[in-house]
A and B are shown apart, each in its own frame.
Chain A
Amino acid sequence: GEDVEQSLFLSVREGDSSVINCTYTDSSSTYLYWYKQEPGAGLQLLTYIFSNMDMKQDQRLTVLLNKKDKHLSLRIADTQTGDSAIYFCAWGTGRRALTFGSGTRLQVQP
């Protein structure tokens, strides 16, 4: 079956780096994703990584993938108050639907 673990909450100070982690059991997906959900809104794709890559950098975002340990992480450099949101890791299945983690709430303190 598919199971995902994400820590529930992370608090950082503005300007610090944030690291959000995700551990999964199903390794068959071609792409793994990070989605962001702001209060009262739907989910928005933040970034993604192809499963044969170890790292992807996209401006302030760095995604690390350790396939051996089935561990995915999202690092946000120079975290801003506008980064406060819930972050979900997710991956695609053969039917093109997504399986989501339970989400990590990031709180950025000024």
Chain B
Amino acid sequence: NAGVTQTPKFRILKIGQSMTLQCTQDMNHNYMYWYRQDPGMGLKLIYYSVGAGITDKGEVPNGYNVSRSTTEDFPLRLELAAPSQTSVYFCASSYSQGVTYEQYFGPGTRLTVT
């Protein structure tokens, strides 16, 4: 199993550009999440999904959109990039039947907006 994979690993965007961060998991997890990690900070939840076709906002959803057309994929879209979106983005997934809520993380995408 590859686990949770994310692409790209790094990206530099100009202000106003758009991009999609890709996330795929091969563990058949129902739950998937997008977090951002700013320097010296913990992770903040952007969006999450409890299954294909179902998404919901987290703590910091402004400036982002998501979709969940399949169990495996959970892309994150930035429409008009702003410097405040410079961060490291982590995708994660978890079992829907587990009781411990353990989340499995991808390696992250480091995004710089200039």
Hey, which bits of chain A sit against chain B, CB under 8 A?
Answer: 4, 8, 30-31, 33, 40-45, 48, 88, 90, 92, 95-98, 100-103
Contact = CB atoms under 8 A, between A and B. Distances in A.
Given A96-B31, A100-B42, A100-B43, A42 B108 contact: yes
Contact residues of B: prevailing secondary structure: strand
A36 to B, nearest CB: 11
Given A31-B100, A48-B100, A97 B105 contact: no
Contact of B40 (A8, A33, A43, A45): A8
B74 to A, nearest CB: 13
B2 to A, nearest CB: 13
Contacts of A102: 40-42
Contact of A92 (B44, B48, B101): B101
Contacts of B107: 40-42
B4 interface: yes
A44 B33 CA distance: 15
Contact of B105 (A31, A33, A44): A44
Contacts of B105: 42-44
Interface string B16-51: 000000000000000101000000111111001010
A92 B92 CA distance: 14
Given A4-B42, A8-B40, A42-B90, A98 B48 contact: no
